[in-house]
Amino acid sequence: MPPVIINLIAAQSGTGKTTIIEKLLPELTAQGLQVAALKGEVHHYNLDIPGKDTWRFARAGATVVGMITPEKYILIGNAPDGGSTAVAKLQEMDLIIIEGDKNSPHPKIEVVRSAINRQPLLPEGTIAVVSDLAELPQPLPLFQLDDAAGLAYFIQDRFFKPEGTAPELTHFDRAGRPRMIDISDKESTHREAYAAGEIFMAPATLARIKAGTVEKGDVLTVAQVAAIMAVKETGRLIPMAHPLNISAVEVDFNLDELESKIEIGVRVKLTGRTGVEMEALTGVSAAALTIYDMCKAIDKKMIIQNIRLIEKKGGRSGHYRREE
């Protein structure tokens, strides 16, 4: 098979593309990939000089390094097998990462730094963004600048996972017994998740909640407290979930009188080694159950439904946003 080619691009210089490749190379080679790193669109070049980009790529573990001049010649600075030509060596690679070339026909990963440009270019073929931004105008996978492990996992999963391979059930060991995943080797990064759900009820019930005349008290205030408590207790409620040091919980309610329902949203944030999707979903569930509990004396026909993950950020899989 020919090597996979990915261009790492940015709107202009100074975004740290070289540093990102430098951090990415050890993660990719640790997965068993043979990786070449090339410097694209070079007009003046020096090979193997300490401190230069090709030297840094070689030190980071690239099997082959080089540059691409305006005439598209490949200039190799590190080809360990002296018996093969540079171009032949490239054909043996699993992956070639080229720094630069926004007009490349190959898949692209764009680097965006807010201090330089807050709006990504997103040329055709862009598959992910690496940035210090919290979110993007389009739902592409988004990785933080220091999340080389997550970006490497994304590349491995997208281009080198055997076709038809089922997702790994990581909560089971080789004997098929349940286990808690070991996250001790993961990097601590910003994680965020937003989940939502709905509880339908009789119009009269919704009116009493809105007016604050339910006998048990202020329904939405109690439900908000319940959601926050449930988020913090998720590691005790869900068998394989990790106890987490949550940094923020936001709960919102929307009273929809037209459909006679309350829409519940819970956003959870932390800086840690695992995501907070389960915490957000658990918070929504607890809020909905609390509303039911406080109103069941007047409306036993209430229906809780459509609890789902809307968005998550951070981690190996990057930025996910549900298309409603």
Q: Which residues are catalytic?
A: 293
| Residue type at 40 in one-letter notation | G
Return d(Cα 268, Cα 285) in angstroms, integer. 14
- Residue 78: how many other CB atoms lie within 10 Å: 20
Residues across the chain: 324
| Residue type at 50 in one-letter notation | P
Q: Which of 61, 70, 66, 58 is nearest to 90 (CA)?
A: 66
Return d(Cα 238, Cα 253) in angstroms, integer. 24
Contact between 65 and 38 under an 8 Å Cβ cutoff? The reply is: yes
Q: Which of 20, 16, 12, 302 is nearest to 155 (CA)?
A: 20
Contact between 242 and 315 under an 8 Å Cβ cutoff? The reply is: no
Return d(Cα 183, Cα 319) in angstroms, integer. 20
| Residue type at 16 in one-letter notation | G
HSE, CB side, 13 Å, CA atoms: give it for residue 241. 20
- Residue 115: how many other CB atoms lie within 10 Å: 8
At residue 208, what are phi and psi to the nearest 5 degrees?
-70, -35
HSE, CB side, 13 Å, CA atoms: give it for residue 21. 32
